[in-house]
Chain A
Amino acid sequence: MTSLSYTRIAKDGIWDNNIIFAQALGLCPLLAVTSNASNGLGMGLASTAVLVASGALISVSRDIISPQVRIPVFILIIATLVTLVDLAMNAWVHDLYKVLGLFIPLIVTNCAVLGRAESFASRNSVLPAAFDGLMMGLGFTMVLVVLGAMREMLGTGTLFANAALLLGDWAAFLELTLIPDYKGFLLIILPPGGFMVLGFLLAGKRMIDRNAELKRAAAAEAEADEALFSATTA
């Protein structure tokens, strides 16, 4: 497994084996914080930090942890990292911390983090493990931001509202008002909207995958035809 290429890891993390789309893990933070895109971005980055650090740490210590006690040890490592993120966010991005609230400590129980520790980091060396954490985290962040952006656009007609307040002044350029005087569509912002938008998003991802599959099959068929044709004429 160590021969796994980095492009493969990247593709797995962001698309093929995406935490949300393919593994259906980490749903709680996904739905709870994505009433707008800025929250999604903040949550995604926090989770990515934990994923990268836990991947690296667990990979380094994989030889000294005996298999019988590995799960509790993994959880403790993850909980320690989450505590660090929790304290750091409380200190430096306090507004975002207040919005995300309970869901920062709950990164501990994001099954995706433990899942990656168990299935990847404990079997690979440090660099691939950290890279896998980064890519899984980016894939997760991408879904959080897309879902947050969709809900925000449909629900309030803005995009990345309050980004500067929540993420720091550098994010001010992201703020957009797409539809001025939008009356709002409360349902999308409320919990039911989260579930429904996610359902449509997942269906959309599947359609993209299927189209790609069909195209590949058609291309392969055309190639085979051509080979047959040249074989018969020769």
Chain B
Amino acid sequence: MEYFLIILSTALVNNVVLVKFLGLCPLMGVSNKLDSAMGMGLATTFVLTLAAFAGWLLEHFVLGPLNLGFLRILTFILVIAVVVQFTEMVVRKTSPALYQVLGIFLPLITTNCAVLGVALLNVQQENSFIESLLYGFGSALGFTLVLVMFAGLRERLALAEVPDAFKGAPIAYIVAGLLSLAFMGFAGLA
């Protein structure tokens, strides 16, 4: 039950994108089409969970015992870059079809601040191993959810008539604001 609450709270109540403001660049960048949003969400889910896992191992077996806390940013970003590269290789070998879909998004994930952010938050909150994993997975679920919803909204938005000055990015920000407002409604759920 406790674990279920972690997923619920990270995916909905403290949504990474709309409440914690992590991973906004991909949200604005690749949410023009529904299927590319799905692809990006899947790839990020995989990398984020793996990065949370690797971050925990690194913190507890290397940085903590050796007292190297000041190297955390440097090592985490390196590990994330490696995880992303590894994911790319695995996907290319095992499923060329999936690689076709995810291919272009994978390199972008390194600079998705949600990945580094969640890994650092895990350390900050002193989460246990399972908690770290769930925290990463839940955050990624929330990210995917918002990305897909937002892509759906933007597909409709492309057809809507908006004042000239608001076309494109500005109206997208306002829509994101409304979506964020809706997500505030989850507060108090968990």
Contact = CB atoms under 8 A, between A and B. Distances in A.
A24 B169 contact: yes
How would you classify the secondary structure of chain A's contact residues: helix, strand, loop or mixed?
helix
A191 B19 contact: yes
B29 A24 contact: yes
How would you classify the secondary structure of chain B's contact residues: helix, strand, loop or mixed?
helix
A28 B180 contact: no
B178 interface: yes
Contacts of B23: 28
Interface string A66-89: 000000100110011011001100
Interface residues of A, number: 42
A43 B124 CA distance: 20
A31 B166 contact: no
A196 B74 contact: no
Contacts of A196: 173-174, 177-178
Nearest to B162: A203
B177 A75 contact: no
B36 interface: no
Interface in B59-92: 70-74, 77-78, 81
Contacts of A198: 173
A203 B25 contact: no
Contacts of B21: 27-29, 31-32, 191, 194
12 contacts: A29-B21, A72-B81, A76-B78, A80-B74, A83-B70, A86-B73, A106-B116, A109-B113, A190-B184, A194-B21, A196-B178, A203-B163
Interface of B: 18-25, 28-29, 70-74, 77-78, 81, 110-113, 115-117, 120-121, 124, 163-166, 169-174, 176-178, 180-181, 184
